[in-house]
């Protein structure tokens, strides 16, 4: 039975799809909201620029006037996100507090996170050389059964599906160390749960296709990635701390040490 359904409702994923019939003005779709004026701008990402009414902001002027753009409450270069009276300051590294007003004197000792925070570390902290293990050590204490602790993959502007990555997560209470080198994903999982509010020590290593996970005093678990590829091809940085409350960062060559505490 044929049914007519809007194409966009059935889409799962897409890339670089544009509308047919070149020459149609990007402003003809009326992308600008809240009485903003639309001006064609071939040099911009979307082909147009919205000139917002007083107090509105955002690419399409979709953000209503609020604390963010009226009093700009975030200090020390913090970015304000939110609408109306509901806002959050995203503080640059080295600052914390509701308005980024507190200086963090010793990042190496502790960095405070909330559930919307993360740290982006330069990928050069975890270099790759043939035959030398990439080692990541964690100490974590959590009662959360699901959290992403570390992600090292492609640049966020690049489509990451099927691309190389390293990830460390707590899934259903167990630690999972995953990586992809191009031949298919590999996943190592701890035998014990870690979401018991106690401290746990985790060490993961990757040397070529070989991966090792060691949790506390468990016997090391090892796996070999499928296929023939053995290089980790990543151009993004290392992200940690999405759901973590405190971390301590130390590093030496090829070894990243992260300390998580909830
Ligand atoms: Ca690869």
Final residue of a structural domain among 105, 127, 152: 105
Distance 189 CA to ligand 1 centre (A): 22
Final residue of a structural domain among 76, 105, 134: 105
27-42 in b/e burial notation, b at 16+ Cβ within 10 A? beeebbbbebebeeee
Give CA 24 to chain center in angstroms: 36
Task: Give the length of the chain.
Answer: 262
Number of domains the chain is built from: 2
Tell me, what CATH number does 187's domain have? 2.60.120.200
Together in a domain, 138 and 174: yes
How many other CB atoms are found less than 10 A from the CB of residue 160?
16
Domain-located, residue 81: yes
Distance 14 CA to ligand 1 centre (A): 23
Q: How far is Cα 232 from Cα 165, in angstroms, rounded to an integer?
A: 7
SS3 124: helix
Together in a domain, 88 and 211: no
Q: How far is Cα 68 from Cα 152, in angstroms, rounded to an integer?
A: 31
Distance 153 CA to ligand 1 centre (A): 11
Distance 165 CA to ligand 1 centre (A): 9
Domain-located, residue 219: yes
Together in a domain, 138 and 199: yes
Distance 212 CA to ligand 1 centre (A): 18
Together in a domain, 137 and 242: yes
Domain-located, residue 19: no
Q: How far is CA 169 from CA 50, 177, 204, in A?
A: 40, 7, 12
Cα–Cα–Cα angle for 123, 158, 179, rounded to 5 degrees: 55
Distance 258 CA to ligand 1 centre (A): 25
Residues sharing a CB contact under 8 Å with residue 7, sequence separation 6 or more, in sequence order: none
Domain-located, residue 182: yes
Together in a domain, 125 and 229: yes
Together in a domain, 95 and 128: no
Domain-located, residue 23: no
Domain-located, residue 54: no
Distance 123 CA to ligand 1 centre (A): 16
Distance 181 CA to ligand 1 centre (A): 4
Distance 13 CA to ligand 1 centre (A): 23
Residues spanned by the domain of 73: 67-105
Distance 218 CA to ligand 1 centre (A): 29
Together in a domain, 97 and 131: no
Together in a domain, 97 and 129: no
97-122 in b/e burial notation, b at 16+ Cβ within 10 A? bebbeeebeeeeebbebeeebbbebe
Together in a domain, 123 and 101: no
Domain-located, residue 21: no
Domain-located, residue 51: no
Q: What is the pTM of this model?
A: 0.57
Together in a domain, 81 and 183: no
Q: How confident is the prediction along the chain (262 residues), in pLDDT tens digits per residue?
A: 444 555 555 555 555 454 444 567 889 989 999 999 999 988 887 889 999 988 888 889 888 888 887 888 999 888 887 777 888 887 776 677 889 888 765 444 344 455 556 677 778 778 888 888 998 887 777 788 887 888 888 877 777 778 899 999 889 999 999 999 999 999 999 999 998 988 899 999 999 999 999 999 999 999 999 999 999 998 888 887 654 333 444 444 455 555 554 3
Helical segments of 41-100, H only: 67-71
Distance 127 CA to ligand 1 centre (A): 14
Residues sharing a CB contact under 8 Å with residue 28, sequence separation 6 or more, in sequence order: none
Together in a domain, 240 and 189: yes
Q: How far is Cα 70 from Cα 205, in angstroms, rounded to an integer?
A: 49
Distance 229 CA to ligand 1 centre (A): 6
């Amino acid at each position: 039975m044929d049914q007519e359904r809007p194409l966009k409702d059935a889409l799962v994923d897409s890339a670089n799809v544009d509308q047919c019939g070149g020459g149609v003005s990007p402003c003809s779709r009326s992308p600008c909201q809240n009485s903003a004026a639309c001006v064609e701008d071939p040099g911009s990402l979307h082909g147009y620029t919205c000139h917002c009414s007083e107090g509105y902001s955002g690419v399409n002027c979709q953000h209503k006037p609020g604390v963010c753009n009226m009093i700009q409450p975030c200090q020390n270069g913090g970015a304000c996100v939110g609408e109306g009276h509901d806002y959050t300051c995203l503080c640059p590294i080295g600052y914390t507090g509701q308005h980024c007003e507190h200086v963090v004197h010793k990042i190496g000792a502790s960095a405070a996170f909330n559930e919307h925070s993360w740290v982006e570390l330069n990928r050069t902290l975890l270099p790759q050389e043939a035959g030398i293990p990439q080692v990541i050590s964690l100490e974590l204490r959590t009662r959360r059964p699901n959290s992403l602790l570390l992600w090292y993959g492609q640049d966020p502007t690049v489509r990451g599906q099927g691309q190389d990555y390293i990830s460390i997560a707590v899934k259903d209470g167990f630690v999972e160390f995953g990586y992809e080198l191009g031949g298919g994903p590999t996943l190592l999982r701890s035998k014990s749960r870690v979401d018991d509010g106690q401290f746990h020590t985790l060490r993961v290593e990757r040397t070529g296709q070989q991966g090792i996970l060691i949790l506390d005093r468990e016997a090391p678990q090892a796996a070999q990635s499928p296929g023939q590829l053995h290089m980790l091809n990543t151009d993004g940085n290392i992200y940690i701390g999405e759901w973590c409350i405190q971390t301590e960062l130390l590093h030496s060559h090829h070894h990243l040490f992260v300390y998580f505490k909830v």
